[in-house]
Structure 1
Amino acid sequence: MSSENSVPAEAVADVTRDIAEVPAVEVVTSAAVHLMSAAAVKCGLAEDSPDVPAAELQDLDEARKLITALAGLVTGAATVIGDHHARPLRDGLRSLQLAFREASEIQDEPGQGPGEKFTGPVR
C-alpha cells in the first residue's frame, strides 16, 4: 500500500479518542436515526425533489431489511439506554412499520411484518 493511501497513525488515534468520548446511548441513538431515515426513504416517505419524486425512491424490500434491523437494535438496546431514549425510538419504529404496511400492496400476516418478530404485531 502506498503512503498516499494510508491513514496517519495520529489521525487514527484522534478518531479513536473522539469515539471513546461519545456515550454509548448517543452511538445507539445515532445508528437508530440513520436506520429510520433510510427506512423512511425506502418506504416512499421522502419529500419529492425537483429531480426525483419520492415514489421513485421507494423500495419495500430494502425498507423491510432496514426496519427489521432497527427493530432489533431498538428492542435490544431499550433496557440499557433507558426509557427516556428508547420511547421516541420505539415510536419512530412503530410509525415506520405502519407506513410500510400502508405502502404494501400485499399485506403481511399479523406478526410477520418488518421487525414484528422483535416488537410483536403492529396495528
Structure 2
Amino acid sequence: MHSEQNNHAEESDLAQAVNQRSRDISEVPAVELINTVAVHLMSAAAVKTGLADDPKADELKDLDEARKLITALAGLITAAAPEVGSTHAAPLRDGLRSLQLAFREESSVPDAPGKGPGEKWTGPVN
C-alpha cells in the first residue's frame, strides 16, 4: 500500500513538472526556440566533425553522426529562414556553411558536389 502511494505521488510530481515546462515553453518566442535548437545541432555537429575544443577531439569525431546532424540543421535553417528573418537566419547559415566545409575537410572520401551533408537543402558548398 505504501509503495502504491509513493507511485501516485511520483506520478503527480511528474505531471506537475510537465505542466510547468509546458507553461514555461509557451512563453518562449518561436524565433528563440528555433535559434536554440539550431545552436544545439551546430554544437553537436561541430563535436562530431572533430572540431571540439578538447584534447580528445579526434576520439569524439564521428562523421556519420555529423552528416546526420548537419543535414537536419540545413533542413531546419532552410525551412525556418523565411519565418525568423535574415537577422537571425544569416548567422545560422554562416555556421552551417562552416560546418559543411569542415566536414568536407575531415572526410577521407569526398562527396560529389551537391551530395554533401545538408547540400540537398543548401545547394553545393565549396
Q: TM-score, normalised by structure 1?
A: 0.92
Counterpart among 16, 22, 32 of residue 22 in structure 2: 16
After TM superposition, the structure 1 = structure 2 runs for residues 1-123 of structure 1, keeping only pairs within 5 Å, are 2-3=7-8, 5-8=10-13, 9-49=15-55, 53-123=56-126
1-structure distance, mates of 2:68, 2:111: 14
Specify every segment of 5 or more residues in structure 2 that has no aligned partner in the other structure, as ranges. Answer: none
The answer for unaligned runs of 5 or more in structure 1 is none
What's the offset of the Cα at 1:47? 1.4
- Structure 1 stretch 61-70 or stretch 4-13: which is displaced more? 4-13
Residues 9-40 of structure 1, C-alpha deviations (whole Å, 9 max, x = no match): 43332211111100000000000000000000
Sort the Cα spacing of 1:7 and 1:78 in 2 relative to 1 into closer, same or farther, 3 A.
farther
C-alpha distance in structure 1 between counterparts of 2:91 and 2:102, whole Å: 16
In 2, Cα distance between the equivalents of 1:70 and 1:92? 10
In structure 2, what residue type is equivalent to 1:101? R
Identity %: 66
Q: TM-score, normalised by structure 2?
A: 0.90
Aligned length: 120
C-alpha deviations, 1:77-123, integer Å up to 9, x for none? 00000000000000000000000000001100000000000000001
List structure 1 runs of 4+ shifted beyond 3 angstroms.
Answer: none
